[in-house]
Amino acid sequence: MKKIKTHEEKNPTSGYEEMLLQKRKQVMAGLGIKFDTMAKAGRLAEEDQAQMSHDEFISLHLNSLDYVQLRLIEEALDRLHSGDYGTCLACDEPIPAKRLHALPWARYCVSCQEEVGAMQERGILEDRPRLNFA
């Protein structure tokens, strides 16, 4: 008897595409809510302006993190459509399904991600000017 393949067996990446599209929708909705909240603030009393400036700073930082995540999601969708999804960009080995379920936009396998993270950390630390408090 011939086994009929399910949609997931025919296209094993379809579940990941659905997860990526859902996450993209969530991130974009969050960006819209943050923008609407800041836009509705209007005029503030002078004593509230410091708090509002702080809130704007935090909101801008969170927005930048959301835009980074959105870019990673878009890149993952591009890799999915080009057939490169699930392959580590550094070592060309398959990224384990467990990692892709946790981070469907993952670019690297765990060991390569650790190396990339360490290199970025060293680069950031090396670029900082040395401060002399003496």
- Expressed in angstroms, the distance from the first to the final Cα of the chain is 82
Helices (H), 40-96: 49-82
Q: Which amino acid is at 69?
A: Q
98, 103, 104, 108 alpha-carbon torsion, rounded to 10°: -80
Nearest Cα neighbor of 107 from 119, 93, 118 is: 93
Domain range for residue 96? Answer: 86-127
Question: 53, 45 in Cβ contact below 8 A?
Answer: no
67 or 126, higher pLDDT:
67
- Whether 2 is in a domain gets the answer no
Whether residue 62 is found in the same domain as residue 90: no
Kindly state the DSSP code that residue 45 receives in the 8-state scheme: -
Average pLDDT (30-44) is 62
pLDDT of residue 51: 65
Residue 119 banded pLDDT, cuts 50, 70, 90: confident
pLDDT of residue 80: 95
Whether residue 15 is found in the same domain as residue 56: yes
Domain count, the chain: 2
pLDDT of residue 5: 43
